[in-house]
Amino acid sequence: MGFKKVIQSKWVRIPYFVVVHGLAAYGLFLLAVYFAMKFNLTNEAGAIDPNNRYFQEMDGKYNQNFKVDSISVAKNRYEVLNRIILLNDFFPQNAETIRKVYETTKNEKLALQMLDAVDLHLQQNKSYQDQKIKVIAKSKKDPIVNGLSAIEWMNVVEWKYFKKALVKDKKWIDSAARATGVEARIIVCCLVGEQVRMFNSRREKFKTLVAPLKSLVLETNQSYGVTGIKDHTAKRIEENLKNTSSPYYLGPEFEHLLDYDSTEVIASNKHNDSLGIRLKRLVQYDNHYYSYLYAGLFVRQIKEQWQKAGFPIDNRPEILASLFNLGYQKSKPKKDPAVGGSNFKINDTEHTFGSVAFDFYYSGELVDEFPYQNEKFIAPAPKPIKKISPENSPKYPKGESAIPKVN
């Protein structure tokens, strides 16, 4: 068979045409891809998300229009907490996740964005949407948005000045709390009742002393010190520390807590030379430790009396404060003690000593300075002490003593 016949045979001709046409087709395919890419013919058309408008509204709401002033922050916090509570009724898992994030970050903007992201999937949930509208509407008119307290008497300007003065006395209050084993916040309850009742009666004194100097009003007539301890009450507090048969007796660890120092006996008092040593302790302008120490011991003695009688009032700060105001003679243990004490007005509204103490204790005001303790009465300092030095009171500035000297 000649070469020409071989070339023309079907066994050569067919494979040849297949290869040639295949290469040609591949070349055309590459050429088509080139032009398609060059002229963007391969780009996907895509689609706009049906919720695009919702995303845009979120962006606007939480950027340019999101306010961070104190009033707005309070309003936003209120909305966050209430919307988390609402979401918990429908989808607890999402609510718990957002709560944890908010608790960690304290970021109202982020929490609201997370809530809105969940709401996107609840647009058809009519029950949820109806309740959410009510929650948001309520947050816009709730008293929290105007920066005021629901406890009306805490909105007076004197309260703001008083709190600043109280913080200045923190080291003395903490020192008395450690010495007596009484929760500092309970001791402060006695102070609050005593000072707040002067918001009206001694308003000018608050304006001239408490506001500019941030110093508490010091009483020097019949009742003494910032907590208003009467002379005969202070004397009885001392006696009860040593009288083992007294229902107010606290134990040997307290017996020497109020013993007098020899240096106190000969000291003179610039305010009133006729004052005895006991009152000199209480009437000191630059150091209020003894005012708090006597108040803490009185409260602990009253608590001891009621506990021994079978009517514990450890968790009744309003009763302890009422009895602090009324005195030993009114402390008669019984099943249903009443809140009361002195009556006074703040902005023409009547209050009692005990009710003001109750308001303060559970208000959360100054909780960073005077936190709630699990046990309101604990064992005092491990050793009987009469004086607390900077060494065993590390919170005091270096070189500053916890116990005042009597001038």
Residues 77 and 207 in one domain: no
Inside any domain, residue 362: yes
Inter-helix orientation angle 157-168/184-196, to 10°:
140
Dist. CA 289–CA 199, nearest whole Å? 23
Distance, CA of 283 to CA of 33 (rounded, Å): 97
- Residues 165 and 143: beta-carbon distance below 8 Å: no
**How far is Cα of residue 166 from the mean position of the Cα atoms in its chain?**
16
**pLDDT class of 391 with cuts at 50, 70, 90:** very low
Residue 26's pLDDT is 66
Q: Is the residue at 222 inside a domain?
A: yes
Handedness of CA 289, 291, 292, 293 (dihedral sign): positive
Q: End of a domain among 113, 146, 179?
A: 146
Do 178 and 137 belong together in one domain?
no
Helices (H), 252-316: 262-265, 277-282, 289-308
On whether both 74 and 183 belong to a single domain, the answer is no
User: In whole angstroms, what is the distance from residue 293 CA to residue 264 CA?
Assistant: 17
In a domain, 308, yes or no: yes
What pLDDT sits at residue 158? 81
Least confident stretch, 101-115, 165-179, 206-220 = 206-220
| Region 235-248 average pLDDT | 96
- Same domain (yes/no): 170, 88: no
Judgement on whether residues 166 and 105 belong to the same structural domain of the protein: no
Q: Is the pLDDT of residue 314 over 60?
A: yes
Half-sphere exposure of 26 (CA within 13 A, CB side): 6
371-378 mean pLDDT: 93
Question: Is residue 74's pLDDT more than 90?
Answer: no
Distances (CA, A) of 252 to 178, 242, 293, 385, 389: 16, 8, 17, 11, 21
Report angle CA 222, 224, 225 to the nearest 5 degrees. Answer: 165
Contact 178, 170 (CB under 8 A): no
Task: Answer whether residue 18 is part of any domain.
Answer: no
- In this structure, of 111-125, 146-160, 343-357, 390-404, the range with the lowest mean pLDDT score is 390-404
Same domain, 229 and 128: no
Buried b (16+ CB within 10 A) or exposed e, 3-37: eeeeeeeeeeeeeeeeeeeeeeeeeeeeeeeeeee
Does residue 192 share a domain with residue 77? no
pLDDT, position 23: 67
Among the residues of 50-91, which ranges form H helices? Answer: 52-61, 70-90
Asked if residue 31 has pLDDT above 60, the reply is: yes
Point out the domain boundary residue: 79, 111, 146. 146
Residue 203 has pLDDT above 50, yes or no: no
Q: Which one has a higher pLDDT value, 383 or 283? A: 283
The last residue of a domain, from among 92, 119, 146: 146
Give 218-225 contacts, CB < 8 A, sequence gap 24+.
Answer: 218/283, 218/284, 218/285, 218/288, 219/194, 220/271, 220/272, 220/283, 223/194, 224/279, 224/282, 224/283, 224/291, 225/282, 225/283, 225/288, 225/290, 225/291, 225/294
Range of the domain at 109: 66-146
- 10 or 226, which is more confident? 226
Residue at 358 is within a domain = yes
8 A C-beta contact, residue 362 and residue 341: no
- Say if residue 386's pLDDT is above 50: no
Q: Is 253 domain-assigned?
A: yes
Give 41: exposed, middle or buried? Use CB within 10 Å, 0-12, 13-18, 19+: exposed
**pLDDT at 221 > cutoff 90:** no
Q: Is the pLDDT of residue 269 over 70?
A: no
Does the pTM surpass 0.75? The reply is: no
Is the pLDDT confidence value at 146 over 80?
no
Q: β-pairing, 219-221 with 223-225?
A: antiparallel
Are residues 168 and 82 part of one domain?
A: no
Query: Rounded distance, CA 156 to CA 379, Å?
Result: 37
CA angle 357, 358, 360 (to 5 degrees): 65
Domains in the chain, number? 2
Let me know: does 373 contact 182? Beta carbons within 8 Å: no
| 305 lies in the same domain as 342 | yes
Q: Which amino acid is at 69?
A: D
Same domain, 103 and 161: no
Among 25-39, 258-272, 369-383, top mean pLDDT goes to: 369-383
Domain contains 48: no
Q: Which span out of 42-51, 125-134, 153-162, 262-271 was modeled with the highest average pLDDT?
A: 125-134
Which residue type, as a one-letter code, is found at position 152?
A: E
Q: Is the pLDDT of residue 219 over 50?
A: yes
> Residue 224 has what pLDDT?
82
Q: Do 236 and 142 lie in a common domain?
A: no
- The three-state secondary structure class of 352 is strand
Whether residue 163 lies inside any domain: the answer is yes
Residues 195 and 240 in one domain: yes
Mean pLDDT, the chain, integer = 78
More confident residue, 300 or 200: 300
